């Protein structure tokens, strides 16, 4: 099965259309008070009715075009049983940054990726509030379209000095994990917190953090506890923008969607610098 059979312009156009229509559901409830549930009793892992509606809408639309493909979505699966295969699989996060969505903080987005052989070959991320559409195909580059204007090609930052870098890092709750694991994660990041860099940012949504790297706004993004739907589209877009994705525990380990701790960097030099800092103590 050739990747080119799936990553063509017609697939990308279809996904962009679905993402934009799904974004209307999010925009319709923006600025309103929102009810929510806590997943499995975790007070920081939230879901709204809009999450469920958007995922159902995306799945129904995509299945009409690609009935033989597999589908994985954040709201429709048991996280412990997620199994990625080599078959064409749509990996969807209907609202990444649900907590942001609930609080009307505009760093929230839809993430849709088509994966083959467990890697994304088409990725679309759409923030319907900021009207920002990010997309990439394998080997075709990464692009940003804002407010319907012509798309511009994305390129990561050229900075190669960590001391002159802005870094995005999520230090909040590790969703679905015990508090002690979150404490371990924060301790693991402690050397970086004390390292002289330009500053730290926390956007509260994996997609928006990945896109900050792809746009060249930050030099790196680091997070633990990620799921396939958090990363699939974002990893592809960063990679096509010239970035580097590595696993925190081993910079030489190939990226995998089933990994939980990743570093998205603008280039190899920044990636290596972060690994040295994290392993310095």
Residue 159: active-site member: no
What is the distance between the alpha carbons of residues 77 and 214, in angstroms, rounded to a whole number? 29
Annotated catalytic residue, options 51, 55, 74, 240: 74
Annotated catalytic residue, options 98, 99, 159, 207: 98
Mean pLDDT by 10 residues, the chain (281 residues): 56 97 95 62 65 94 96 71 84 94 94 96 97 97 93 98 96 55 73 92 96 98 93 98 93 87 96 91 53
The single residue listed with the structure tokens 């990743």 is 262
Annotated catalytic residue, options 75, 96, 219, 240: 96
Q: 3-class SS at 7?
A: coil
Residue 249: active-site member: no
Residue 179: active-site member: no
What is residue 237's predicted lDDT score, i.e. its pLDDT?
Answer: 98
What is the distance between the alpha carbons of residues 101 and 34, in angstroms, rounded to a whole number? 9
CB atoms within 10 A of CB 206: 29
What is residue 172's predicted lDDT score, i.e. its pLDDT?
Answer: 63
Output the six-digit token pair for 37.
């549930």
pLDDT tens digits, one per residue of 151-185? 999 999 999 999 999 999 987 655 445 455 567 77
Q: How far is CA 214 from the centre of its chain?
A: 11
What is the distance between the alpha carbons of residues 140 and 9, in angstroms, rounded to a whole number? 10
**Phi, psi at residue 264, to the nearest 5°?**
-105, 115
What is residue 9's predicted lDDT score, i.e. its pLDDT?
Answer: 76
């Amino acid at each position: 099965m050739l990747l080119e059979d799936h990553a063509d312009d017609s697939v990308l156009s279809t996904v962009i259309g679905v993402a934009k229509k799904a974004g209307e559901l999010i925009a319709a409830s923006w600025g309103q008070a929102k009810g929510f549930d806590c997943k499995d009793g975790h007070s920081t892992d939230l879901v709204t009715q809009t999450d469920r509606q958007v995922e159902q809408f995306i799945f129904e639309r995509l299945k009409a075009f690609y009935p033989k493909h597999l589908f994985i979505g954040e709201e429709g699966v048991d996280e412990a049983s997620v199994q990625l295969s080599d078959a064409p699989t749509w990996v969807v996060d209907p609202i990444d940054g649900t907590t942001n969505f609930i609080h009307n903080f505009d760093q929230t987005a839809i993430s849709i990726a088509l994966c083959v052989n467990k890697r994304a070959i088409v990725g679309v991320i759409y923030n319907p509030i900021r009207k920002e559409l990010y997309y990439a195909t394998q080997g075709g580059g990464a692009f940003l379209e804002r407010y319907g204007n012509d798309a511009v090609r994305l390129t990561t930052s050229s900075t190669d000095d960590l001391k002159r870098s802005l870094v995005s890092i999520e230090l909040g709750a590790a969703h679905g994990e015990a508090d002690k694991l979150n404490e371990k994660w924060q301790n693991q990041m402690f050397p970086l917190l004390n390292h002289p860099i330009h500053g730290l940012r926390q956007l509260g949504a994996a997609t928006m953090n990945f896109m900050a790297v792809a746009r060249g706004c930050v030099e790196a993004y680091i997070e633990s506890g990620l799921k396939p739907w958090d990363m699939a589209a974002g990893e592809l877009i960063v990679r096509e923008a010239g970035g580097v994705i590595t696993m925190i525990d081993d910079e030489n380990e190939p990226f995998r969607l089933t990994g939980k701790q990743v570093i998205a960097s603008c280039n190899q030099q920044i990636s290596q610098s972060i690994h040295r800092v994290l392993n310095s103590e």
